[in-house]
Amino acid sequence: MNFPILSSLILLPTIGAFFIFFTRSNDKNNLTVKYVALFTSFVNFFLSIYLWILFDQSTSEFQFVEDRIWIQNFINYKVGVDGISILFILLTTFITPLCIISVNNTIKNRLSEFLIAILIMESFMIGVFCSLDLVVFYLFFEAGLIPMFLIIGIWGGARRVYSAFKFFLYTLLGSVLMLVAIISIYWISGTTDVVELYEIGIDSKYQNLLWLAFFSSFAVKTPMWPVHTWLPDAHVEAPTAGSVLLAAILLKMAGYGFIRFSLGLFPVASEIFTPLIYLLSVIAIIFTSFIALMQEDMKKLIAYSSVAHMGFVTLGIFTLQQQGIEGSIIQMISHGLVSAALFLCVGVVYDRMHSRLISTYGGIVTIIPKYSVLFMLFTLAALGLPGTSGFVGEFLILMGAFKDNFLVAVVASLGVILGAAYMLWLYKRVVFGKLINNDLKQMIDLNKSELFILSCLAIPTLFFGFYPDPLINTIEVSVSDLIDMYNLNLVSKF
Amino acid sequence: MENLQLVFPEIFLSLSIMFLLLLGVFKKDSSKLIQNISLVILLITAVITFNETITIDEVKLFNGSIIIDYLSSFMKIITLLAAFLALVISSNYLKTFKIFKIEYPILILSSVLGMMIMISSNDLIVFYMGLELQSLALYVLATFDRDQIKSSEAGLKYFVLSALSSGLLLYGCSLIYGFTGSTNFNIIANQLDSNEYAITFGIVFILVGLAFKISAVPFHMWAPDVYEGSPTSVTLFFTMVPKIAALTVFIRFLYVPFLNLIEQWQMILIFLSIASMLFGAIAAIGQTNLKRLVAYSSIGHIGYALAGLATGTNDGIQSSVIYITIYILMNLGLFSCLLMMKRNNEYYENIDDLSGLSKNHPMLSLSLLIILFSLAGIPPLAGFFAKFYIFKSVLEQSMYFLAIVGLLSTVVAAFYYLRLIKIIYFDKEKERFDTDHSLWLKFSLTASTILILIYFIFPSQLIEVVSRINIIQ
């Protein structure tokens, strides 16, 4: 396998962005620009499907590895995928074209710049998920801030400047400590190559501080309580496509980072800090669910529900049970699909009524039935109804949690009930009830592109809900080997 | 005497300066001619320096008072190129303000000569001579727009404070001479007696003087006023070129005679570095004038360069040299943008004037975006790598406090860079600026932006070039 398929995945969107950049769009060729973006992202999607087909599920070794000298005697450009990362790459390449299609209805000015930002963002996100060197990972992880800052700031809502700054500075503040940790790892172990670090391990006396440094970055990005406050702001002000990228993919970087780096590199520290993660996760689940109940803004409600869902994810990861970690990964994928769809759903009604307040709506079920059906599906998926992908993830996580810590699992299960409460209540207030607001009668049902996007998201949500085997088969070996390695390192280091 | 060819660049430069002075006196209206000749001279000097000295590892001349090594060759070439670019992109600006006079390029050449002597000095007297030569030229440059009160004020302020710092520096030199019996760096190194506290005093005085020149906190007070008051073309020169020479002297002064006293000066350097990084970041937040903001940002950047020097290793020195090189590149781009903010023969330098720039001038704003994110140190731009190497060498010495404070101040600094980006991209547009810029201005902006953007593809090259700098044997 000589074809550098991962580098192509990373580079392709950037090349597409270059094409758009030199097209110098105006109002006339907006369509051309969009087709270029769409074409690039679809090629990338099919390339990643091809990657999945070629992927060997029976081993946890990194595959499609590319290793090139980047900075002499210091850093290699090293990328590769295993069962864990490949799913996130697929998610990224799947969500991006949908974002680009959704741009139709929402972005009115500076379309080509917006598409450039999204494509470059895609490059960086794929880079995050396949880099096998800490410095390369950091580079992609941080670089993503630039396009996202611009997406929120230029195309966002009324308080966009505040939100963009908050987003940028919060994440930057979290990440700089990770940079210190990465450089320290280089001096402690002599390499930043993740695969090598897995083998030689890191001296346990340094692990606690290093773990905390990585944690500070991932906790902000996840986001975990109490550093989650940037997320509702960023979501509310970002344009729909921006919210979708943020919720579906950006948040997953941190979950992925926890699995790949916190567990993989610092098993001793992970063991010590597990109670902390449990505590923060449970608070996130319960506390933010209550906050979500009280929201009047639909986007904000979904944003808080994201925090709660990511609480499940971190909980699952640190159970260190096969089911827990698998559940977390599936939950992340499922949340990627469902939250993307929910934000798009909010975007649909927002485009028509220019209001995100729940109180504006009510009784729209008879006016826009197609929308109501799809919205219903995603609401149920978000609360984890059996038959949707949300159920598989949550169920596995709770199973893992019950094995590890009964009390935590019980409290977390309450979160499921709360989740059902705020999602169903949201749905009831928006879709059912009496039609009071007469303006709503003018609403038109989903147009073709909206229907296409939402169905694209509905199909995998249902499919993986009934038949999660393709996902589980992909991650199974990698996860079990990760846990074996974790336990091995733990024993040898204590 | 065959070694004289090693100082041929300096000899050539001084002869050219004299020739240009004569030419300026005897030929009327020769400012354009002299400007062009000066540019050629700068380039020729750079080429000569490259040809004659780049391969030399270390040669000392004139009883060891001048040293030619790789560090000096590299820094001289950077100085000459930076001076060339600073001069070439400012001609339109000078014409607009009617200060396009023969003295301008000649003063720049003399200050460059002073810097070259500083860079090569291996002796306290030679170093002081070079320093004064460059400073005198710089005082005049700061007041060059003498009809403007601000410019005169800037020059006067610069002169008074700089004279004070020169005095301190000289006092330090005399203390060191008194207790070691020599002004030569290598002899001082051999004569050191670490129990002699007076030597520490001497080091402190010299460090204070140098910190003044390089505008490190707490000796930075002159910088914002001088940068704001001087003509923009001079500010551009100030923020780039003298820092190279001052940093080289810093390196040589600390690492040749006083390496063994590292415990004495390391704390001072760490303090200067931390104070500069933090102060530069915090004080820049409230600024409304772009040149003042650049002044504070340059104070912050000098803090990072000093952090590399505080390590006491070759790695640290190399990372500082890389930092200053990348910093100059970014500054060049930033000032090219500043020089493009012109409307009807009037230059704008307030932050608000940038408002909504992206609607009217998409390419200019994109360049500014890249430059500003790079200054903030966001990957994958060149500014990130500059900081990365610094922190790499700092952490090698387990100086965690310095590294963490440094990185946290990048977050604070990111705020004001983001504020600029916000004004450029998120705010309402104003009138268009003129677009009839000189070719050189466009070239310097494009080239620096592209280099900043694609630096991450070839990061090894600069490291390889710099890796030959080995001051500590």
Mean pLDDT lowest among A103-112, A371-380, B99-108, B339-348: A103-112
The angle formed by the CA atoms of residues B49, B51 and B55, to the nearest 5 degrees, is: 95
Mean pLDDT lowest among A71-85, B243-257, B438-452: A71-85
Nearest Cα residue in chain A from B393? A183
Does residue B2 carry a pLDDT above 60?
A: no
* Whole-number percent of chain B with pLDDT over 90: 42
User: What is the CA A336 to chain-centroid distance, rounded?
Assistant: 5
Q: Which residues pair with A76 in a beta bridge?
A: A69
pLDDT band at B47 (very low <50, low <70, confident <90, very high): very high
Q: Are B357 and B367 in contact (CB under 8 A)?
A: no
**Interface-testing mutation among B388, B394, B452, B465, with chain A (most A C-beta atoms within 10 A):** B388
Check residue B390 and give its pLDDT: 92
State how far the alpha carbon of A51 is from the alpha carbons of A4, A63, B81, B169, B259, in Å: 11, 10, 48, 65, 56
Q: Do A154 and B425 touch (CB under 8 A)?
A: yes
Q: Do B415 and A70 touch (CB under 8 A)?
A: no
Q: Are A372 and A365 in contact (CB under 8 A)?
A: yes
Which of A71, A150, A172 faces B463 most closely, judged by CB atoms?
A71
Does residue B161 carry a pLDDT above 60?
A: yes
Distance from CA of A466 to the nearest CA of B (A): 42
Q: Are A71 and A16 in contact (CB under 8 A)?
A: no
More confident residue, B267 or A73: B267
Nearest-Å Rg of the Cα atoms of chain B is 21
Q: Do B426 and A154 touch (CB under 8 A)?
A: yes
Does residue B84 carry a pLDDT above 90?
A: yes
- Map residue B145 onto helix, strand or coil: coil
Distance from CA of B365 to the nearest CA of A (A): 12
Q: Do A183 and B460 touch (CB under 8 A)?
A: no
Which of B380, B396, B414 faces A172 most closely, judged by CB atoms?
B414
Q: What is the dihedral of CA A152, A157, A158, A159, to 10 degrees?
A: -30
ipTM of the complex: 0.90
Look at strands A75-81 and A63-71 and give their pairing.
antiparallel
Q: Which two tokens stand for residue A214?
A: 């990585």
pLDDT band at A93 (very low <50, low <70, confident <90, very high): very high
Q: Report chain B's mean pLDDT, rounded to a whole number.
A: 89
Q: What is the pLDDT of residues A356-381, one digit of tens each?
A: 888 888 888 888 888 888 888 999 88
Check residue A23 and give its pLDDT: 78
Q: Can you tell me the distance from the alpha carbon of A211 to that of A208, in angstroms, rounded to the nearest whole number?
A: 5
Exposure string for B360-369, b = 16+ CB within 10 A, e = fewer: ebeebbbbbb
Check residue A27 and give its pLDDT: 62
Chain B contact set for A182 (CB, 8 A): none
pLDDT band at B195 (very low <50, low <70, confident <90, very high): low
Q: Can you tell me the distance from the alpha carbon of B51 to that of B32, in angstroms, rounded to the nearest whole number?
A: 29
Check residue B39 and give its pLDDT: 92
Which of B400, B414, B421 faces A169 most closely, judged by CB atoms?
B414
Check residue B398 and give its pLDDT: 86
Q: Do A173 and B411 touch (CB under 8 A)?
A: yes
Does residue B67 carry a pLDDT above 70?
A: yes
Does residue A2 carry a pLDDT above 80?
A: no
Q: Can you tell me the distance from the alpha carbon of A219 to that of A318, in angstroms, rounded to the nearest whole number?
A: 13
- Map residue B343 onto helix, strand or coil: strand
Among B324, B329, B301, B296, which Cα is nearest to B223's? B296
Distance from CA of A357 to the nearest CA of B (A): 25
Q: Do B418 and A187 touch (CB under 8 A)?
A: no
Total count of domains within chain A? 1
Q: What is the pLDDT of residues B302-358, one digit of tens each?
A: 999 999 999 988 889 999 999 999 999 999 999 998 888 888 888 888 888 888 888
Q: Which two tokens stand for residue A207?
A: 């692990």
Does residue B72 carry a pLDDT above 60?
A: yes
State how far the alpha carbon of B418 is from the alpha carbons of A93, A142, A149, B360, in Å: 29, 15, 9, 20
Cβ neighbourhood burial of B438 (10 Å; 0-12, 13-18, 19+): middle
Q: Do B426 and A160 touch (CB under 8 A)?
A: yes
Highest mean pLDDT among A404-408, B74-78, B151-155: B74-78
Check residue A28 and give its pLDDT: 66
Q: Counting every residue, how long is chain A?
A: 494
Q: Can you tell me the distance from the alpha carbon of A292 to that of A233, in angstroms, rounded to the nearest whole number?
A: 14
Check residue B430 and give its pLDDT: 83
Distance from CA of B190 to the nearest CA of A (A): 33
**Bond from prior residue into B218 cis (ω within 30 degrees of 0):** yes
The secondary structure of chain A, three-state, reads: CCCCHHHHHHHHHHHHHHHHHHHCCCCCCHHHHHHHHHHHHHHHHHHHHHHHHHCCCCCCCCEEEEEEEEECCCEEEEEEECHHHHHHHHHHHHHHHHHHHHHHHHCCCCHHHHHHHHHHHHHHHHHHHHECEHHHHHHHHHHCHHHHHHHHHHHCCCCHHHHHHHHHHHHHHHHHHHHHHHHHHHHHHCCCEHHHHHHHCCCHHHHHHHHHHHHHHHHHHCCCCCCCCHHHHHHHHCCHHHHHHHHHHHHHHHHHHHHHHHHHHCHHHHHHHHHHHHHHHHHHHHHHHHHHHCCCEHHHHHHHHHHHHHHHHHHHHHHCCHHHHHHHHHHHHHHHHHHHHHHHHHHHHHHHHCCCEHHHCCCCCCCCHHHHHHHHHHHHHHCCCCCCHHHHHHHHHHHHHHHHCHHHHHHHHHHHHHHHHHHHHHHHHHHCCCCCCHHHHHCCCCCHHHHHHHHHHHHHHHHHHHCCHHHHHHHHHHHHHHHHHHHHHHHHHC
Q: Are B386 and B304 in contact (CB under 8 A)?
A: yes
* Alpha helices, DSSP H, located in B262-381: 262-283, 290-309, 314-340, 357-360, 362-376
Using a CB–CB cut-off of 8 Å, the residues of B that contact A are 373, 378-380, 384, 388, 391-392, 395-396, 400, 403-404, 407-408, 410-411, 414-415, 418, 421-422, 425-426, 456, 459-460, 463-464
Q: Can you tell me the distance from the alpha carbon of A258 to that of A251, in angstroms, rounded to the nearest whole number?
A: 12
Which of A71, A72, A180 faces B403 most closely, judged by CB atoms?
A180
Check residue A473 and give its pLDDT: 87
Q: Report chain A's mean pLDDT, rounded to a whole number.
A: 86
Q: Are B245 and B80 in contact (CB under 8 A)?
A: no
Nearest Cα residue in chain A from B467? A72
Chain B contact set for A161 (CB, 8 A): 422, 426
**Interface-testing mutation among B311, B369, B378, B397, with chain A (most A C-beta atoms within 10 A):** B378
Domain residues for A17?
5-493
Name the phi and psi angles at B75, rounded to 5. -65, -35
pLDDT band at A436 (very low <50, low <70, confident <90, very high): confident
B66 membership: H or E segment, kind and range: strand B66-69
pLDDT band at A26 (very low <50, low <70, confident <90, very high): low
**DSSP one-letter code for B313:** S
Q: Are B333 and B326 in contact (CB under 8 A)?
A: no
Chain B contact set for A158 (CB, 8 A): none
Look at strands B346-347 and B342-343 and give their pairing.
antiparallel
Check residue B371 and give its pLDDT: 93
A-B contacts at Cβ under 8 angstroms: 80
Q: Which residues contact residue B250 at a Cβ distance below 8 angstroms, ignoring those fewer than 6 apart?
A: B210, B214, B306, B309
Mean pLDDT of A62-89: 86
- Residue B440, amino acid: W
More confident residue, B193 or A301: A301
Mean pLDDT of B106-120: 93
